[in-house]
DNA sequence: CTGTTAGCGCTTTCAC
DNA sequence: GTGAAAGCGCTAACAG
């Protein structure tokens, strides 16, 4: 067992209450006594137990963070943003990585509840069946403030910080139109994903607003993964009537598209103009300047932690908070019409 | 306040001890009573408090993980590996991101101690002054099992899972020698970094073993960052007597080298052969096949969690455990001598 | 099989 | 200024 507050109390010949006072800087303590206690703490290498404190105060200084894929830099950035702000507010983070498994999300939620954390920041995974009844029920009966980041959960009206993906899809498409493209395709991710649906919606709106007919043939249904994108692109390149430009809904898929184009010796943007989504750090450096829509995940992280803190601090106010951040467009040249 | 074990006890007309028994599957409980309790738990949506349990049992089911940069996929992989194994052992993870700041590491260590966690898995940052007295003292007086991952801390003999970087440097260099290169350079990171020193050592050994004179001019002192690597390469390309091959000690620097080569219209490996360190996911896809030494960070993560669990489980055995994993060489062609 | 009771380490009145 | 004591929610003997 480690040193406790009582050990310190004995050593300094005071009561544990007094030790507690100097630990928390609460109440008056004679300077002399305080010093004696401080010395005892040093000498015995005492560290107060957050556990005991939590139980006693009926509150922790911990929040939960749930992400679908910790190896993805996008979520790394989110966590970094959360972590920055959490640190500022003296909050610790319990992390769960779900590998996109629904059950793992549910499990994480339950474990976090056991930990009596102050709140949860979560990016739901993009599994096929996010309408799962058990899932929704778990969230609804959680009774802990929860902030969704980046992705929404259908059939709930939860707090969250999101990206305006309709705008993203719109801007991406619009840029291509302004460049003179009229045959514009889009490669989606799984349609169970809100962001993708929204981007698709934005895409359609941009076409409509510019009197370009929507052509269902130009919609390529990907699954966020590189391989599928690669395949789809390969197939696309074989078509006679194919788009001159492509909006690609995720960075992994952008990589797949590029891979296929390279293999077929096609030039970007000459043979196919591209506007992607999400930053791909390494592309510039190898001379591949791909225009993309940028989510600023670190900002999403910061913003969600701020929102959570705001909720925690304002006890009564239980209104639903939703913030929607507009993505940035980063123009690099791959959208050009040549 | 949330529902407690006593609420359940009252509701089910038993004592809290009995409830505890069914919660933990310990001791005998009449099936009928058990059912009554289970119903009460359901009805009241009760979730036991891990806090109270921890205090009572004097042990948590939490470990701490400290990394220098959560946005770096390398550490993401490590965390994923840790997380996989932690999950298997019903352990939660409290995460700290230090941005490579020594003080943040120290702070994290202290906060983790307050949380009475079972153990710590940490990758120390690669700041300049890792010999800091206060730092060493904090670690030594921690009194919590700690596993270092990937990077060691000087002047301590702590448990850890490391990469055999001497071997890495050796193999990288040796491969180039076998290809016929004799003028081989190396780009290091900050020399305060153990891994880099080891790679440099391996580099020297390989040269020696093949009777190639070490040429100090061929050692480029980088700082892990892309920009510096870029500069150094630019400068290198201007030299008349320059190496035909380069061992590059980190992926960021590899990117910098590539960037410079591209800009100068130099070909890999014709103008400069390269063996890098660490995987760069996106390179293959853009047709840049760079040979590299691979750490398998997810394995480091798994292995470190397994080691920690082993330590936790075997109370008495306080011997220092150190495992050294050999890196893999992934040959892609950039090492060729043309 | 089940209840009573004494902690776990800390905070927080309420006295003195 | 300081101490005594109750209590946070749970577990773990020990009785019965």
pLDDT in tens, A170-215: 999 999 999 999 999 999 999 877 888 999 999 999 999 999 999 9
Burial class of residue B143 (count of CB atoms within 10 Å of its CB; 0-12, 13-18, 19+): exposed
What phi and psi, each to the nearest 5 degrees, are found at residue B93?
-120, 125
Domain with CATH 1.10.260.40 in chain B: 3-55
Could B58 and A116 be called an inter-chain contact, meaning their C-beta atoms sit closer than 8 Å? no
Strand C positions with any atom < 7 Å from protein CB? 1-5, 7-13
Q: Are the C-beta atoms of A258 and A286 separated by less than 8 Å?
A: no
pLDDT band at A130 (very low <50, low <70, confident <90, very high): low
Residue to substitute from B285, B296, B301, interface A, most A β-carbons within 10 A: B285
- Mean pLDDT value of segment A139-155: 90
Round to whole Å and give the CA distance between A125 and A98: 8
Cis preceding linkage at A269, omega within 30: yes
Q: Which of A283-287, B167-171, B246-250 has the lowest mean pLDDT?
A: A283-287
Q: Are the C-beta atoms of A168 and A138 separated by less than 8 Å?
A: no
Residues on chain B touching A2 (C-beta within 8 angstroms): 116, 143
Q: Are the C-beta atoms of A106 and A130 separated by less than 8 Å?
A: no
Instruction: Supply B135's token pair.
Output: 């730092």
Is residue A291 predicted with pLDDT exceeding 60? yes
Instruction: Supply A294's token pair.
Output: 């940028």
Burial class of residue A28 (count of CB atoms within 10 Å of its CB; 0-12, 13-18, 19+): exposed
Pairing between β-strand A159-163 and β-strand B245-248 as defined by DSSP bridges? unpaired
The gap between A112 CA and D14 C1' (Å) is 34
CATH topology of domain B163-293: Rossmann fold (3.40.50)
pLDDT band at A128 (very low <50, low <70, confident <90, very high): low
Is residue B45 predicted with pLDDT exceeding 80? yes
Is residue A38 predicted with pLDDT exceeding 70? yes
Residues on chain B touching A259 (C-beta within 8 angstroms): 285-286
pTM strictly above 0.85: yes
Round to whole Å and give the CA distance between B305 and B85: 6
Could B49 and A114 be called an inter-chain contact, meaning their C-beta atoms sit closer than 8 Å? yes
What pLDDT does A131 receive?
67
Helices (H), chain B: 5-12, 16-24, 31-44, 50-57, 73-88, 102-114, 133-140, 165-178, 194-209, 226-238, 251-263, 281-285, 297-313
Q: Are the C-beta atoms of B91 and A96 separated by less than 8 Å?
A: no
Say which residue, B220 or B263, is predicted with more confidence.
B220
Is residue B298 predicted with pLDDT exceeding 90? yes
Strand D positions with any atom < 7 Å from protein CB? 1-5, 7-13
Of A47, A51, A94, the CB nearest to B55: A51
Assigned CATH for A3-55: 1.10.260.40
Is residue A127 predicted with pLDDT exceeding 90? no
Tokens 């076998």 belong to B178
DSSP class of A218: G
Sign for the CA dihedral angle at A128, A134, A137, A141 comes to negative
Widest CA span in chain B: 90
Mean pLDDT of chain B: 93
Residues 6+ apart with CB under 8 A from B231: B256, B260
Mean pLDDT of chain A: 93
Is residue A80 predicted with pLDDT exceeding 80? yes
Q: Are the C-beta atoms of B232 and B189 separated by less than 8 Å?
A: no
What pLDDT does B133 receive?
82
Is residue A264 predicted with pLDDT exceeding 60? yes
Domain with CATH 3.40.50.2300 in chain B: 60-161+295-324, 163-293
**B188-228 pLDDT tens trace:** 999 877 888 999 999 999 999 999 999 999 999 999 888 99
- Mean pLDDT value of segment B298-324: 92
Round to whole Å and give the CA distance between B100 and B107: 12
For B47, nearest residue in chain A (alpha carbons): A114
Of the candidate CATH numbers 3.40.50.2300, 3.10.180.10, 3.50.50.60, 3.40.50.280, the domain formed by A60-161+295-324 belongs to 3.40.50.2300
What pLDDT does B1 receive?
63
Q: Could you give the angle at the alpha carbon of A309 between the alpha carbons of A158 and A50, nearest 5°?
A: 115
Sign for the CA dihedral angle at A197, A201, A202, A207 comes to positive
Q: Are the C-beta atoms of A73 and A80 separated by less than 8 Å?
A: no
Round to whole Å and give the CA distance between B308 and A202: 49
**B54-87 pLDDT tens trace:** 999 999 999 999 999 999 999 999 999 999 999 9
- Mean pLDDT value of segment A18-31: 93
Burial A193-212 (b: 16+ CB within 10 A, else e): bbbbbbbbebbbbbbeeeeb
For A107, nearest residue in chain B (alpha carbons): B87
């Amino acid at each position: 067992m480690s040193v406790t507050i009582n050990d310190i109390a004995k050593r300094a010949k005071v009561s544990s209450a007094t030790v507690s006072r100097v630990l928390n800087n609460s109440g008056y303590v004679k300077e002399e006594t305080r010093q004696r206690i401080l010395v005892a703490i040093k000498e015995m290498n005492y560290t107060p137990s957050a556990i005991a404190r939590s139980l006693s105060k009926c509150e922790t200084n911990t929040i939960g963070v749930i992400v679908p894929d910790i190896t993805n830099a996008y979520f790394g950035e989110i966590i970094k943003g959360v972590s920055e702000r959490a640190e500022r507010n003296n909050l610790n983070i319990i992390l769960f990585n779900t590998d996109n498994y629904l059950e793992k999300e549910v499990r994480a939620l339950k474990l976090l509840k056991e930990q009596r954390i102050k709140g949860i920041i979560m990016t739901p995974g993009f599994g096929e069946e996010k309408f799962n009844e058990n899932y929704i029920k778990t969230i609804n009966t959680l009774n802990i403030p929860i902030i969704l980041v980046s992705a929404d959960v259908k059939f709930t009206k939860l707090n969250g910080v999101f990206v305006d993906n309709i705008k993203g899809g719109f801007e991406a498409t619009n840029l291509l139109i302004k460049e003179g493209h009229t045959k514009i395709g889009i490669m989606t991710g799984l349609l169970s994903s809100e962001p993708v649906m929204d981007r698709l919606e934005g895409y359609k709106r941009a076409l409509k607003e510019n009197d370009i007919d929507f052509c269902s043939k130009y919609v390529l249904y990907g699954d966020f993964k590189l391989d599928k994108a690669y395949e789809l692109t390969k197939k696309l390149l074989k078509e006679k009537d194919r788009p001159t430009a492509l909006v690609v809904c995720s960075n992994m898929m952008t990589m797949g598209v590029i891979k296929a184009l390279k293999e077929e010796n096609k030039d970007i943007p000459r043979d196919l103009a591209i506007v992607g989504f999400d930053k791909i750090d390494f592309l510039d450096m190898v001379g591949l300047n791909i225009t993309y829509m940028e989510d600023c995940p670190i900002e999403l992280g910061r913003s969600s932690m701020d929102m959570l803190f705001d909720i925690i601090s304002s006890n009564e106010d239980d209104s639903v908070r939703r913030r929607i951040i507009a993505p940035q467009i980063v123009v690099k040249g791959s959208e050009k019409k040549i």
